Amino acid sequence: MDFGIFSNGFRAHTSASQTYDEDIHEIVLADQLGFRDCYISEHHGEPPYIGRVDTIPVPELLMCKAAGLTKQIRMGAAVKLIHLQHPVDVAIQAAITDHLLGNGRFIFGFGSGFNSPLFSEERGLTYEDRHVRLAESLEVILKCWEAKEPFDWVGKYWNGKGIVALPKPATAPHMPMATATDSEVMIKIAAERGYTLLSAFLEPAPRLRAKAAKYADIARAAGHRNPRRNVTASRIVYIANSRKEAIEDMRAAVTYEVSVQAERGFLKMLKSVFNLDVPNDLRAIEALVEADLYILGDADQVAGKLKGFYDASGGFGTFLMVTGKDWASREKRDRSMRLFMEQVAPQLRHLDPVD
């Protein structure tokens, strides 16, 4: 098993620059500790965030700054909402990021994101067509990277004439690809093409198991070996001296995040999609821990819970530890990351979901 962080930024508003500095601090620490990957959420502004939460809507900019402060960690978005921007611009931005990160460290992570109409409507786009628009966007982006001559694109959702997309990616025909999706069409595309399958940290193990099995079956039929190594799972993990201490360290920040998320319909989504009831009060963290979506405790407790999650989900090749939160203090968050790599990762690294 390989390990990474999922920088799922949600910090109480101070200033965007201060928030980005905290995110970069964690990415630099992850690089020093030996985490292989860092996926960064693309979070756009929403009314409940105004004056309350700082967001990073262009994670590629964060990656480019972090690249100069790190040595080996790979970085990608989780996920780039490619249905919101013209695919020619997305293709060019991704290729530039690939060159600036260098050494094959950029992963093109894409998807449709949180199911809110706001992001499409802000841009004069239709929400209902986002999945098929995304599929067309992907094909235009790939064409931009591969075309050796100017080309025209006349599609249902995107059009372009005399397209010249430069630079091309640093690695031909393109950088590694990853997607987070529940779309049957995109799961099939990802499996056939060997894209990494990302999963949300709130995704229950049975749901991940079914999706990963579908992905693996299609991938094997397309000739890929051991496709479950391309499945990436994540959970919120926090290591302290005890489970009780971990809960109390996190309670204030989790309560604040849940209160904001409730306003954007996130708790209703958890109930409708995952059948999970999370109270909008100080008890929220207990509900999330009880559902095994937050894995807290000492190092051995966390390792045992993650092994159970691995077995219940059918196995995966990479695990992402969620960061980007203002739990307790920077010192305690750093300690949690260190303990994970020093005491938890060695207990899990041997796990390999080979066929």
pLDDT, tens digit, 9 for 90 and up, residues 185-242: 999 999 999 999 999 998 999 999 999 999 999 999 999 999 999 999 999 999 999 9
Residues 111-168: pLDDT tens digits?
A: 999 888 999 999 999 999 999 999 999 999 999 999 999 999 999 999 999 999 999 9
Residue 66 clears pLDDT 80, i.e. is over it? yes
| HEC-encoded secondary structure of 240-268 | CCCHHHHHHHHHHHHHHHHHHHHHCCHHH
**Taking the model in full, what pTM does it have?**
0.97
Long-range contacts of the stretch 185-190 (C-beta < 8 A, 24+): 185/131, 185/135, 186/111, 186/131, 186/134, 186/135, 187/211, 187/214, 187/215, 187/218, 188/218, 189/135, 189/138, 190/215
pLDDT band at 275 (very low <50, low <70, confident <90, very high): confident
CATH code at position 146: 3.20.20.30
CA-to-CA distance for 152 and 161, rounded, in angstroms? 4
Residue 247 is assigned to a structural domain of this protein:
no
Q: Is residue 77 part of a domain?
A: yes
Q: What is the mean pLDDT of residues 40-54?
A: 96
Quote the CA–CA distance of 40 and 5 in Å, as a whole number: 8
Average pLDDT score over the chain: 96
Q: Would you state the torsion angle of the CA atoms of residues 24, 25, 28, 34, taken in this order, to the nearest 10 degrees? A: -120
How much of the chain exceeds pLDDT 90, in percent? 93
**Structural domain contains residue 339:** no
Residue 87 lies in a domain: yes
User: 197 — phi, psi (to 5°)?
Assistant: -100, 115
Query: How many residues does this entry show for the chain?
Result: 355
**Rounded Cα–Cα distance for residues 247 and 65 (Å):** 33
Per-residue model confidence (pLDDT) at position 355: 63
Domain assignment of residue 132, yes or no: yes
What pLDDT score does 274 carry?
Answer: 80
Q: Tell me whether residue 215 is in a domain.
A: yes
How many folded domains does the chain comprise? 1
Residue 174 lies in a domain: yes
The range of the structural domain enclosing residue 100 comes to: 2-238+300-325
Spatial distance between the Cα atoms of 195 and 231, rounded to a whole number of angstroms: 9
CB-based contact 304:315 (threshold 8 Å): no
173 domain-assigned: yes
